[in-house]
Amino acid sequence: PAEPPAPPAGSAPGPARPGTKRLPRAIVVGVKKGGTRAVLEVIRVHPDDVRALGTEPHFFDRNYHRGLEWYRSLMPRTLDSQITVEKTPSYFVTKEAPRRIFNMSRDTKLIVVVRNPVTRAISDYTQTLSKKPDIPTFEGLTFRNRSLGLVDTSWNAIRIGMYAVHLESWLQYFPLSQIHFVSGEKLITDPAGEMGKVQDFLGIKRVITDKHFYFNKTKGFPCLKKSESSGLPRCLGKSKGRTHVQIDPEVIEQLRDFYRPYNIKFYETVGQDFRWE
């Protein structure tokens, strides 16, 4: 056989990366501004059993036409014993996503990070406002008619928090046993406990424990202590932990009333009380 071409001058051959690019066996499918980035970053600390894609591929919502091989090409290389994970929070509210993921593999494990829908909507608005300072007020976007208390469910920031509605689409294809719900609030108050349940759900060792976290007073949420591979602590980026816009308490109360029946139905469906009332 012919000799392989010599590498360019000055370049050293890197170590061959072992493993194969595989389609994900677990996907963090939602929700936006719920804490999905935190879950992914913590999962990536797991040394042996998990490899996660750092960026959001948006395959099952925006890029489906590119095909499964394109999707597979984005994935990190894994060994047979390792689980590939990806996260795209918009999947949870994408009507076609459950069917498309089911067609890829009916055994896919799904992780949904949920958070008080009122707080989530304010966080969503705060993020948008940082990019588009001239958008209307939160109150203006929330209501079709404020005096009648008519909430505008066509506004995405409101619609995403109607978890019970979106969950129906997923339950047409996946049993509840394949969907794990993470509390966005407990990710802050008890990150090790909440991530312990995620590790159990994925069927991997409980490696990530209390010793991996410290509370960052500036950001107001827990951060990862330095990992063995890096000497630096890992906190989420500047876009996380923004100070929320101040909202009229009366508006918050109206939104609580609006979400209450959806929350109750969600609790009953998943068999878990998130105590958002």
Q: Is 34 part of any known ligand binding site?
A: yes
Q: Is 120 annotated as a binding residue?
A: no
Annotated ligand binding at 166? The verdict is: no
241: annotated binding-site residue? yes
Q: CA 141 to CA 158: how far, in whole Å?
A: 9
Are 57 and 108 spatial neighbours (Cβ–Cβ below 8 Å)?
no
Q: Has 137 been labeled as part of a binding site?
A: no
Directed axis angle between helix 163-171 and helix 97-104, to 10°? 30
Any binding-site annotation on 106? no
Is 123 annotated in a binding site? The answer is yes
33 is in an annotated binding site: yes
The Cα–Cα gap between 146 and 169 comes to: 30
Task: Specify whether 219 is catalytic.
Answer: no
Do the annotations mark residue 72 as ligand-binding? no
Residue 167 and residue 127: Cα distance in Å, rounded?
A: 25
Instruction: Spot the catalytic one: 33, 131, 205, 219.
Output: 33
Residues marked as binding? 33-37, 115, 123, 240-244
Q: Give the annotated binding-site residues for 3'-phosphoadenylyl sulfate.
A: 33-37, 115, 123, 240-244
Q: Annotated catalytic sites, by residue?
A: 33
